Structures are given as structure tokens and as C-alpha cells.
């Protein structure tokens, strides 16, 4: 398996995360994640997955599909402090060999500074809302 990479910045960890997605590289994917059980992952339209074993298993299943992905990151917004960083991005995902465009995915990636560099602790991805002008654009009339 080799040595575990050290990510000196949250952006380095994020770059490795998306590289692992494009390569279908489970070892690199899991090297990005913190090594404790307090990690969370939500795939688009999926349920919450918690802990190393479940997160690893979810990525193993995704990579086993054999689909090759190309991912472009757009509209990145970052918030960072000494110990934590939050990246909000739009993922524009293309499946190699498919002609149809997929709707963008809105993802929130949370990184924590550890003794071995920055590591992901949360990845939450959801389908982006439809184009402006569709009925869901209107805010609901609910009082809290």
C-alpha cells in the first residue's frame, strides 16, 4: 500500500479526493479521510454513512461499477481556520463514454488538521436544484 500521503493544506487534500474519484483509486480515496470513526459521507440522493468501514465500503461499491468519471469543480467557496476548513463546490461530473450531461452536484467537504496533515471528515453531496424559473424557485410560505 505504500506510505500515507501528507496533505499540507486543505486544498491538497481536496485535490487528492477528486483525483481519487477520477482514477477510481480506493487507497488514495481513503488516504484523504481522517483515520478515526467520526467521519461522515452522503452521496447524492443517498443516506448518511458513518465510520471508516462504511465509508470505505461505499467508495468500493462506486469504484466497482467501472465507470470512469471526469470532474470539474466550479463555484468553490472556502472557509478556513486553524484546525478546520469547509469547501463548498459544484461538481460537474461527466461519465466517460456518455453523451448526456449530468446535472451538477453541490458538495460540502470538511477538512480537519491532524498530526499527519489535513484530512477529510465530511463529504456531503446533493443534486443541484433545477434551472432558475422552475416552480421550486419560489420559497415556501412557512413560518417557523
Distance CA 106, CA 85 (A): 17
Phi-psi domain of 27 (left: phi exceeds 0; alpha: psi -120 through 50; beta: other): alpha
Q: Which domains does the chain carry?
A: 10-128 (3.10.450.50)
Rounded to 10 degrees, the C-alpha dihedral 12/15/19/22 comes to 160
7-55 pLDDT, tens digit per residue, is: 999 999 999 999 999 999 999 999 999 998 799 999 998 999 999 999 9
pTM of the model: 0.85
pLDDT at 132 > cutoff 90: no
State percent of the chain over pLDDT 90: 69
3 pLDDT band (50/70/90 cuts)? confident
Residue 32 has what pLDDT? 97
Residue 2 has what pLDDT? 56
Residue 144 has what pLDDT? 44
Nearest Cα residue to 103 out of 82, 74, 83, 123 = 74
Cβ-based burial of 32 (10 A; exposed 0-12, middle 13-18, buried ≥19) = buried
Which residue bears the cell 466497482? 64
φ, ψ of residue 18 in degrees (nearest 5)? -70, -30
Strand partners, 51: none
Amino acid at each position: 500500500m505504500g506510505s500515507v500521503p501528507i496533505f499540507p493544506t486543505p486544498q491538497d487534500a481536496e485535490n487528492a479526493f477528486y483525483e481519487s474519484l477520477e482514477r477510481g483509486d480506493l487507497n488514495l480515496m481513503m488516504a484523504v479521510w481522517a483515520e478515526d470513526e467520526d467521519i461522515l459521507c452522503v452521496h447524492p440522493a443517498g443516506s448518511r454513512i458513518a465510520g471508516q468501514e462504511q465509508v470505505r465500503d461505499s467508495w468500493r461499491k462506486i469504484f466497482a461499477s467501472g465507470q470512469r468519471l471526469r470532474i470539474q469543480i466550479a463555484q468553490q467557496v472556502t472557509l478556513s481556520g486553524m484546525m478546520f476548513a469547509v469547501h463548498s463546490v459544484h461538481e460537474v461530473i461527466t461519465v466517460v463514454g456518455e453523451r448526456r450531461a449530468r446535472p451538477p452536484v453541490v458538495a460540502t467537504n470538511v477538512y480537519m488538521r491532524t498530526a499527519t496533515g489535513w484530512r477529510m471528515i465530511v463529504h456531503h453531496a446533493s443534486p443541484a436544484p433545477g434551472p432558475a424559473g422552475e416552480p421550486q424557485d419560489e420559497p415556501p410560505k412557512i413560518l417557523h
